[in-house]
Chains A and B, each alone.
Chain A
Amino acid sequence: MSTGPTGITGTAPPSPVGERVQRRDAHAKVTGTAIFTADIVVPGMCHAQVVRSPYAHARLRAIRTDRARTMPGVVAVVTSEDLDDVELLYGHAVRDHPIMAVDRVRFAGEPVAAVVATDPVAAAAAAQAVEVDYEELPYVTDPMEALSDEAPVLHPIAGAMGQQRGFAEVEGPRHPNISSTSRHAFGDVAAELERADFVIEGEYEYPMVYAYAMEPYVAVARFSDRTLTVWSASQHPFLVQADLARCFGLPLSAVDVRVPYIGGGYGSKSYTKIEPLVAALALRAQRPVRLALTVEESILTVRSVPARMWIRSGFTRDGTLLAREGRFWMNGGAYAENSPRVANKATKRFAGPYRMRALDVQSWAIYTNTAPGSSYRGLGGPQGTFAGETQMDEAAERLAIDPVELRRLNLLRPGERPWPGARPFDADLHADLDIVVKRLGYGAPLPPGRGRAICLSSADAGAEPTSSAIVRLHADGSVTAMCGSAEMGQGSTTVLAQIAAAELGVSLDMVRLLNSDTSIVSYDRSTGASRTTTIMGLAIQRAAADVREQLAAWAMELHPDATVESERGGMRIDDRLVPWGEIVRGWFGAPGGEVVGRGYVRADGVTRESPLFWEVGCLGVEVSVERETGKVRVERIVTVGDVGRAIHPQLAEQQDIGGAIMGMGPALHEELRYVDQSMVNGNLWNYRVPRTTDLPEVDAVLAERADGIGPYGAKGSGEASINPIGPAIGNAVRNAVGIRLRRLPLTADRVWIALQEMVADERPSDTEDAARP
């Protein structure tokens, strides 16, 4: 038998779990060599330009493409009429979304045609020459108006249910402009509110925002060798693969979705986006086609789902929460996209991490003639938590109990089930809250114009447990771990490699994590819902265990008379640690060979109960309010990342910080606006996201109690801090200057007007005042 090549002499390298190791993508990303979808060039590749509707609702009378077709460089001009061999409708929740408009358009910005040309300039010029005859139809952009009897119906024929909606639909008659109804209820809310000493109710509003992943939507598609290959910045490559297979009548094995580095996602690149369109263009052009959208086009492709929320909560005199009730109207736009799931999650995430006897929340995802609404970091959490946690502070005020004390009084203990049948609560928010109270200096005196507040959140996280991984151990003892999770910056290639290295006892440098290509790696449902470290981490762990078991069997076969014991980094055979590679080579009797390990995760064992884990937020802020202008500034943020176990503490902290700063945008200034039939600020001059100068002092603490189901007790993070920051800022503004605004964002003009109204009334605006400018 040959000797080990890697110099293992009897002890394995230390486990990298819990270490701040260098990110695997660090060198590529700081030298400009990291490849993103925007950088992909395929031989023969042409460029596409989309023609979009200027009208929110119109019948397509005619599309004249003759002139465009004869322009220089044009390869093809495509409308839905040219796609009779393609299944035009897709949609994972509701199959209502045409690849390009069929007969009518339902929002300003909807693709009606596309030009493919040999260069982008020619494509843009020819797109101008496509003539479209529209017959304008009555439109509706407001979700409440969309539910009136007179409202235009967007989808006279309801779309079929998609296969990945992720929850059970509430059956029963409904307005045709409702794409989905959700209800989350337990206990007898009416009886509990009846016996409550005090019931508080109010209406709240969370804005329509844009995730602004800095890489706009871009994809390249190619048909060749009976295979459709699509390069795309997709968080859910396997769900895109399934949609493409259905639209183009191909087996899954003939659809290859490749995901280079993703330039930011935050939910906006979940599910299927422009991939079917690009593929359809490649099919007609018979050439590889690249479609790169501008930021303005990306905003019209998907934006977040705003919410109007009515809620009420009943308490006993001593502050015990008895029941909560809510109705959420959520503007899902012209096509359902992921708005049904967002609306559903809002019902699960609104009530907070509190013990209560009854709950009844309903939500509606509503069709309007606006850009499709879909996932945004937190998925219904930021919306629901804004209502729930704002009302907690309002209740505390009325009950004359400190808001932190009111929360503590009702806060779930670890092991309690938040609702019947739910996984027991796997976080200790009591301890997290103590950390924030202390580090924020909650209760310490403040100068005028300053205020503090602490908010909590709880989200049923992890999505569905459908994942697999392959771990290959090569003849030299190095490892290739393969999984379908996408690297969008969260650092999963680093964290999953750490897990593989730890499980096999090899050094991190010996592990390569491969996560791109659906034709190479095995199935993973999605990269989102903060699930990758937990769910894919388990799959990698199991695949590594499978490798070890096979190696143990091989070692026993090779050394039938020896004592064989599996250890980190190799096999103890009698008293010698034999490195893995040596066993591989010995078993094959050759200088090469490898072990292939498989890991599966499904709804079984630790991942049987739903949700897969509770992603909790615990965040405090200190704000200052400039009375003269109404400008709110976040001065400090203290946040606890309750991550169970931080496999990479630096990355875990950054998820918490990144989420909090992102959440400052919708809290303070981000809001997409519709006037008449168009979005009026769908560009980066008019739509401002947080910048360096908005950065407060940030104190991010990790709480590691190994209470998660993931590897080493890990739980997902990444969407925790964005949920409580909106209400925390709103409550802190109330504490700073006495105004109560129930609508985000807290723009300077809204704050200033509320301040003037308060001065006019010579009293703090009390909780009955809507104070809505």
Chain B
Amino acid sequence: MSSDIDLEFEVNRRPIRLDVRPNETLAAVLRNRLALTGTKVSCDAQVCGTCTVLVDGRPVSSCTFLAADARGRRVTSVEGLGDAETGHLSHVQQAFVERAAFQCGYCTPGFLVSATALLAEVPHPTREQVVEYLEGNICRCTGYEAIVSAVLDAARVGTDDGAATP
């Protein structure tokens, strides 16, 4: 067996140091080692977007992203979108609440993270841009309508979600 890797990185604005196996995915490390179970895995093959997290502000599928490749980088999961200290939700999270832009909620963390990345990149997207950007995230419950509307709402309210700034 290959030896473990000493991994130092930042997760949700906190420094983390731990030993990971070379083949351990970022999703597994977040869920099983750091108790950040908000990140969910579905297709496990980079198709559905459920496990999306930000690495240095860019969305990646944590189910296939090796934890070792996060060395020295900033990782943001759903738990890092709002302000954990004050309990304040980000604009995207708040818009999802108001639009009820989720049902079962399993895909929701991935959508929230992707939408946050979009608004960091394009603060005032058109509906078409939202639809294009979120094509990599699958939702089976909502029919997407409420999700797209929520992201547009969040863009209107503002894009000062700290976590989204690359």
Contacts and interface: CB of A to CB of B under 8 A. Distances in A.
Given A684-B48, A692-B148, A693-B132, A29 B142 contact: no
B87 to A, nearest CB: 9
B59 interface: no
A32 B138 contact: no
Given A214-B107, A263-B105, A489-B104, A691 B138 contact: yes
A662 B143 CA distance: 7
Interface in A560-595: none
Contacts of A684: 43, 45, 47-48
B40 A263 contact: yes
Q: Could you say which of A28, A214, A264, A654 has the most chain B C-beta atoms within 10 Å of its C-beta?
A: A214
Nearest to A658: B143
A89 B143 CA distance: 38
B140 A31 contact: no
B70 interface: no
Given A264-B104, A266-B140, A695-B143, A683 B45 contact: yes
Contact of B138 (A39, A654, A689): A689
Interface string A250-279: 000000000001111110000000000000
A214 B78 contact: no
A436 interface: no
B81 to A, nearest CB: 8
Contacts of B93: 30-31
A293 to B, nearest CB: 11
B31 to A, nearest CB: 8
Given A684-B48, A685-B47, A693-B135, A32 B140 contact: no
A213 B109 CA distance: 16
B145 A698 contact: yes
Contacts of A685: 45, 47
Contacts, number: 160
A651 B100 CA distance: 8
Q: Could you say which of B103, B131, B135 has the most chain A C-beta atoms within 10 Å of its C-beta?
A: B103
Given A29-B105, A214-B106, A657 B145 contact: yes
A269 B103 CA distance: 16
A285 B98 CA distance: 46
A36 B106 contact: yes
A658 B43 contact: no
A349 B132 CA distance: 37
B51 to A, nearest CB: 11
A265 B44 CA distance: 19
Contacts of B102: 26, 29-30, 489
A490 interface: yes
A38 B146 contact: no
A658 B142 CA distance: 5
Q: Could you say which of B31, B141, B146 has the most chain A C-beta atoms within 10 Å of its C-beta?
A: B141
A24 B147 CA distance: 18
A538 B100 CA distance: 25
A212 interface: yes
A263 B144 contact: no
A692 B44 contact: no
Nearest to A695: B144
Q: Could you say which of B105, B109, B146 has the most chain A C-beta atoms within 10 Å of its C-beta?
A: B105
Interface residues of A, number: 54
Contacts of A23: 97, 100
Interface in B21-76: 31, 36-45, 47-48, 50
Q: Could you say which of B36, B100, B147 has the most chain A C-beta atoms within 10 Å of its C-beta?
A: B100
B7 interface: no
Interface string A208-226: 0001111110000000000
Contact of B142 (A38, A211, A216, A657): A657
B42 A661 contact: no
B80 to A, nearest CB: 9
A32 B36 contact: yes
B142 A654 contact: yes
A168 B137 CA distance: 43
B143 A657 contact: yes
A713 interface: no
Contact of A32 (B78, B96, B144, B146): B78
Contacts of B141: 264, 489, 654, 658
Interface SS of B by simple majority = loop
A660 interface: yes
A254 B112 CA distance: 41
Contacts of B100: 20, 22-23, 26, 491, 650-651, 654
Given A654-B142, A654-B146, A660-B143, A32 B104 contact: no
A449 B38 CA distance: 45
Nearest to B102: A29
Interface string A19-53: 01011011111111111101100000000000000
B79 A32 contact: yes
Given A489-B141, A692-B131, A695-B145, A30 B96 contact: yes
B24 to A, nearest CB: 10
Contacts of B43: 295, 684
Contacts of B45: 295, 683-685
Contact of A661 (B39, B106, B143): B143
A213 B42 CA distance: 9
Contacts of B42: 214-216, 263, 295
Interface string A525-554: 000000000000000000000000000000
A62 B50 CA distance: 40
A33 B38 contact: yes
A32 B92 CA distance: 14
B134 A261 contact: no
Contacts of B148: 692, 695
A31 B82 contact: yes
A295 B38 contact: no
B123 to A, nearest CB: 19
Contacts of B135: 691-693
B48 A214 contact: yes
Nearest to B82: A31
B104 to A, nearest CB: 3
Contacts of A265: 104
A261 B102 CA distance: 13
B77 interface: yes
A38 B43 CA distance: 14
Contacts of B108: 29-30
B5 interface: no
Nearest to A215: B106
The 8 closest A-B pairs by CB, nearest first: A32-B38, A489-B104, A489-B103, A263-B106, A661-B143, A29-B105, A32-B78, A657-B143
Given A489-B104, A490-B103, A690-B143, 14 more contacts: A27-B97, A30-B112, A32-B109, A213-B106, A214-B40, A214-B48, A215-B42, A263-B42, A295-B43, A489-B102, A658-B141, A684-B43, A685-B47, A693-B131
30 contacts: A22-B100, A29-B108, A30-B89, A30-B102, A31-B79, A31-B81, A32-B79, A32-B109, A34-B105, A38-B40, A212-B138, A212-B140, A214-B50, A263-B104, A263-B105, A263-B106, A264-B103, A264-B104, A264-B106, A295-B42, A489-B103, A490-B103, A650-B100, A654-B145, A658-B143, A689-B138, A691-B138, A692-B132, A693-B135, A695-B148
